[in-house]
């Protein structure tokens, strides 16, 4: 079974600065997908960014980028130019690309990001 670990329960960043959230995972599979989801306070979880394991290039979405290290099984999220609206719980998630995995996601425990004005 796969596991996803987020070792930072809480992080804080100054507005306009850059912050990196860590995620590691354990899997014996070679093909899979990784995700970062964001859950603002009292709001829905939304997808921030997605990475296919077979792609060497790190995914980027505007101010959000990932550092995907497949051999190390590491998938960190970098938020540049942090904004107050980035304050949220961030979840790292894994999805197998093998068999009939569908959209069964395995989540990490989450990192609460606080943004200081």
Least gap, CB of 104 to another protein (angstroms): 5
Judged by CB under 8 A, the number of residues near another protein is 26
List 10's β-bridge partners, or say none.
Answer: 112
Q: Indicate whether 9 belongs to the interface with another protein (CB under 8 A).
A: no
CA dihedral 89, 12, 95, 4 (to 10 degrees): -110
Here the tokens at position 30 are 């070679």
φ, ψ for residue 76 (rounded to 5)? -95, 155
Q: Are 114 and 59 in contact (CB under 8 A)?
A: no
Q: Indicate whether 11 belongs to the interface with another protein (CB under 8 A).
A: no
Binding string, residues 39-78; x marks residues near another protein by CB under 8 A:
---xxxxxx--x----------------------------
Residues that bind another protein (CB under 8 A): 4, 33, 35, 37, 42-47, 50, 91, 93, 95, 97, 100-110
């Amino acid at each position: 079974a796969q596991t996803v670990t987020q070792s930072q329960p809480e992080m804080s960043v100054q507005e306009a600065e850059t912050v990196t959230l860590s995620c590691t995972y354990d899997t014996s599979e070679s093909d899979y997908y990784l995700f970062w989801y964001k859950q603002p306070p009292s709001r829905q979880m939304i997808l921030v960014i997605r990475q296919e394991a077979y792609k060497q290039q790190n995914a980027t979405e505007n101010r959000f980028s990932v550092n995907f290290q497949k051999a190390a099984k590491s998938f960190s999220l970098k938020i540049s130019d942090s904004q107050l609206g980035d304050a949220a719980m961030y979840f790292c998630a894994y999805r197998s690309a093998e068999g009939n995995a569908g959209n069964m996601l395995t989540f990490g425990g989450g990192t609460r990001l606080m943004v200081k004005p």
